[in-house]
Chains A and B, each alone.
Chain A
Amino acid sequence: MILTASEKTAKSHLVVVGNGMVGHHFVEQLIAQKGHEAYQITVFGEEPHLAYDRVHLSEYFTGKEAADLAMTDGTLYDQHGVRYFTNQQVIEINREDKILRLKGGESLSYDKLVLATGSYPFVPPIPGHQRDNTFVYRTLEDLDAIRDCAKKVTRGTVVGGGLLGLEAANALKNLGLETSVVEFAPRLMPVQLDEKGGDVLKGMIEGLDVKVYTNTATQDIVDGDDAFHRMNFADGTHLETDLILFSAGIRPQDALATQSGLTVGERGGIAINNFCQTSDENIYAIGECALWNNRIFGLVAPGYTMAKTAVGHLLGSSDFTFTGADMSTKLKLLGCDVGSVGDAHGQSQGCKVFVYQDEISQSYRKMVVSEDGKKLLGAVLVGDNSYYDTLLQYFLNAIDLPEQPQSLILPAMGDAPVGLGVDALPASASICSCHNVSKQDINQAVSNGAVSVAEVKGLTKAGTGCGGCAALLKKVVDNELLSLGVEVSTDICEHFAYTRQDLFNLVKVENIKSFKALLAKHGKGHGCEICKPAVGSILASVWNEYVLKKEHISLQDTNDRFLANMQKDGTYSIVPRIPGGEITPDKLIVLGEVAKQYELYTKVTGGQRIDLFGATLSQLPAIWKQLIEAGFETGQAYGKSLRTVKSCVGSTWCRYGVNDSMTMAIDLENRYKGLRSPHKIKFAVSGCTRECAEAQSKDIGVIATEGGWNLYVCGNGGMKPRHGDLFATDLDDATLVKYIDRVLMFYTKTADRLQRTSVWMDGLEGGLDYLKAVVIEDKLGLCDELEAQMQRVVDTFQCEWKTTLEDEEALKTFRQFVNYEGEDSNVVFVQERDQVRPATDAEKQQLIAKVG
């Protein structure tokens, strides 16, 4: 690099010192405001990497790489003529001549200077703090060093039980260390939590096998007896540990300010005014190094606001000012929810407090309200953050509290809605604090044409920081769309201006047999992951052709395309059909043998069958060949199709059974097993009213009675359980099947894509009575057709795996690589409880490190 003091360009020279999150945001904002046209911009960063997402730093241990955390790869800078240098520390400012000096000895002049030097971890000067195997937690390099050390040792201790300390403790735990936390203060997270909240958190964290020492001062660190270090505590006790991580707070990096005589605070920090100018009007300070009104802001959102303010001021606008920031936070620490809003300690004059504590489920909530009980001043949440969004909105917008303010922290009883409707939020309500986006900004984006959360995100950046505002953001967007009368389009996607139901009818009436033909006649473009599988499913419902036929193969979602369920590591699970859950000992043995031969993880599913996990793509055909030879069929666990018909043993064995539920379940499963539908379908048959098969929670539920069978429809387990509706009683076998044919085919014809029967029923105009009228009374005159269509599906059933094994072309697509025989080296298993499971990222790294 050659830069000299005399180098001059036509534009004023703006230098940014520090390329952390805030320094980068500053450059981004400056470019967005066309600041690069007014200034020649130069950026210096001391770290070897360009700016990266420090907020998500811990994810570096859970699989993210430096490139994933990077906030820029430099392209943005290059495109706008911003010069940038990493590994370059600025060591001196000569304010008189406006010259900077770099560590390498070079110097250069500036016209305007922005200090975004962040902060550094404070390490308490305990004797022994500089020993080997002691670390801090701030940069990628710190994490590299911690990871290297953790590979060799077993015990780790974090000094400091604040926010960052607990995050670091989580990281140590994930690295497989026995972890302890040592906190000087009487409770964890002393800044954010009150005493009781700290206690509850401590209990929860200890429950996770992390030892917590509060009220504990470390006197010195010396050689350990059975570990690398021994920490001697002031009360005479001690702790042996191999690795020590200091997380005892941060200090603003203000060395340059001190050196050059800028005003700094008593306890550090570069003093700034509301425009983020330091005591020298040509020098700005933003982010964690800046001190405003005697306060440091150790979060990224206030830093971003400062960046915006400085950009505005540099471009000649006084519209933006920095006037402090909300420091409310919500976090998941070691899996425990913790939230803190406003005045958590109740220090405001005359304030009153509500407290709710539940020692059974371990949660604690406190609200601090104004003397008159009208406004929320602060809150503390431990154990359940679902209350946070609402409380934060009351606080930030000074909304009048409801008459019974305590209802905001009491557990919800019955169906009463908790929380604040988005309508009640004022326009100025801050929705995304990371990017300072208000309700008004979102509404503006919507009225400028954004019609989805994704588009609003693109326009406003809301939701792209910590992600904590996602749920609220969606509510505000939906609410605004609705209030604008925007009809949320029912087109299935940009390629077809039709609903699924329309497409179903078109396929059937016009005798259309392929996606391409449908697209040519009724669509545009080339299709996407919404319409392709949806049309694939419709074609299968109507014509029931082999799903891997050449013209259908590219429509199938990966599970359907490879006739197996993809798992997180790219391997597959295999679920043969076991109708009704009945299986012979011989077949059980075959499953065991196959699983053993291919080293598959084996589990009994929630649907009364057996799932074999961990098969690679190229193993699938061989495994299925053996299973089919032993008499198994595909279980279509991958398809939107019939899953299982769960059954109890019924009257054959059970002393209470009134009918043979087992035979009925097997017959039903065999009848409907080939049906592709809008979503998966589950059945159950119980042999008597004790309902051991839980039929009332299934799409189709059948319960034996003295007089035949009772039929229940549209039940659901899963995310939003729904009891099935009693549809007809005391049916004989034939009528039962007839009704099920009609109900299922009517559902298949009219439901939306990926709509379970429960949701379909809830949206069906006329509801249960209408469905009865269609199916029982044949109100639409459709019944013959529905039955005929179902019969066609039944008659054309084929086991897709059997067909595939006979089809050379289809088999070719199961090769792992087209040009190479090996397997995917990223698929790594470890043993747990005598079976394989996928290795975690940390385990993979260790395994690879050991090999390499």
Chain B
Amino acid sequence: MQWHLICKQSDLVIDAGVAAMVNGQQVALFYVPEASEQVFAIGNWDPIGKANVLSRGLVTHLNGQWSVASPLYKQHYDLANGCCVEQEAKVPVWPTKLVDGKVYIRQSN
């Protein structure tokens, strides 16, 4: 597992997502200043809608959990653990850190 530098903090959009490519895998990055994690990284692939779109969903805060609503069919994916709230489905999640205005995520190799 190692930290990868992804982009600058200024590439992120407050309370919304952007997509990044990390080791050939699409990652959705959400910048949520109010959350203790600040930046969340989950897979960009929506396993229910079957498209790489999660970075383009709305960030929501429900029952104390941060999640993203898929822009296709509106299921929520928990940003902290990747689990879909409504259905049995799951997307990968990766640890992130924000240091000196730079965004890193941790992934194997």
Question: B-contacting residues of A (Cβ < 8 Å)?
Answer: 63, 65, 67-68, 71, 73, 454, 494-495, 525-529, 532-533, 550, 553-554, 557-559, 561-562, 566, 568-570, 617, 812-813, 815-820, 822, 824, 826, 841
Give the distance to chain B from A126, nearest Cβ to Cβ, in Å.
Answer: 39
> Could you say which residues of chain B place their CB within 8 Å of the CB of A822?
21
Give the distance to chain A from B57, nearest Cβ to Cβ, in Å.
Answer: 7
Knowing A526-B34, A529-B69, A568-B49, the reply to whether A554 touches B61 (Cβ < 8 A) is no
Give the distance to chain A from B42, nearest Cβ to Cβ, in Å.
Answer: 15
The answer, among B6, B32, B53, for a CB contact under 8 Å with A558, is B53
Q: When chains A and B are docked, how far (Å) is the Cα of A568 from the Cα of B88?
A: 21
The answer, among A529, A812, A826, for a CB contact under 8 Å with B60, is A529
- Are A529 and B52 in contact (CB-based, < 8 A)? no
The answer, among A68, A557, A558, for a CB contact under 8 Å with B89, is A68
Q: When chains A and B are docked, how far (Å) is the Cα of A557 from the Cα of B16?
A: 11
* Interface class of chain A by DSSP: loop
- Are B14 and A527 in contact (CB-based, < 8 A)? no
Give the distance to chain B from A118, nearest Cβ to Cβ, in Å.
Answer: 21
- Are B52 and A826 in contact (CB-based, < 8 A)? yes
- Are A554 and B86 in contact (CB-based, < 8 A)? no
Count, A-B residue pairs, CB within 8 A: 102
- Are B47 and A68 in contact (CB-based, < 8 A)? yes
- Are A528 and B60 in contact (CB-based, < 8 A)? yes
- Are B62 and A528 in contact (CB-based, < 8 A)? yes
* Interface class of chain B by DSSP: strand
Mark each residue of chain B from 54 to 77: 1 if its CB lies under 8 Å from any CB of chain A, else 0. 001111111100100101101010
User: With A67-B90, A813-B18, A817-B18 given, can you name 13 additional A-B contacts, CB distance below 8 Å?
Assistant: A68-B47, A494-B62, A525-B61, A526-B61, A554-B59, A570-B51, A817-B21, A817-B26, A818-B12, A819-B7, A820-B21, A826-B52, A841-B50
The answer, among A71, A553, A819, for a CB contact under 8 Å with B16, is A553
B29 within 8 A of A: yes
- Are A568 and B51 in contact (CB-based, < 8 A)? yes
> Could you say which residues of chain A place their CB within 8 Å of the CB of B86?
454
Give the distance to chain B from A568, nearest Cβ to Cβ, in Å.
Answer: 7
- What number of B residues sit within 8 Å (CB to CB) of A? 42
| Chain B: CB-nearest residue to A528 | B60
| Chain A: CB-nearest residue to B18 | A818
Give the distance to chain B from A515, nearest Cβ to Cβ, in Å.
Answer: 9
| Chain B: CB-nearest residue to A493 | B62
> Could you say which residues of chain B place their CB within 8 Å of the CB of A819?
6-7, 11, 20-22
Q: When chains A and B are docked, how far (Å) is the Cα of A65 from the Cα of B90?
A: 12
> Could you say which residues of chain B place their CB within 8 Å of the CB of A815?
18
- Are A550 and B52 in contact (CB-based, < 8 A)? no
B19 within 8 A of A: yes
> Could you say which residues of chain A place their CB within 8 Å of the CB of B61?
495, 525-528
> Could you say which residues of chain A place their CB within 8 Å of the CB of B45?
826
| Chain A: CB-nearest residue to B34 | A526
- Are A817 and B58 in contact (CB-based, < 8 A)? no
Q: When chains A and B are docked, how far (Å) is the Cα of A65 from the Cα of B45?
A: 13
Q: Which of A63, A528, A817, A841 has the most CB of B within 10 A?
A: A817
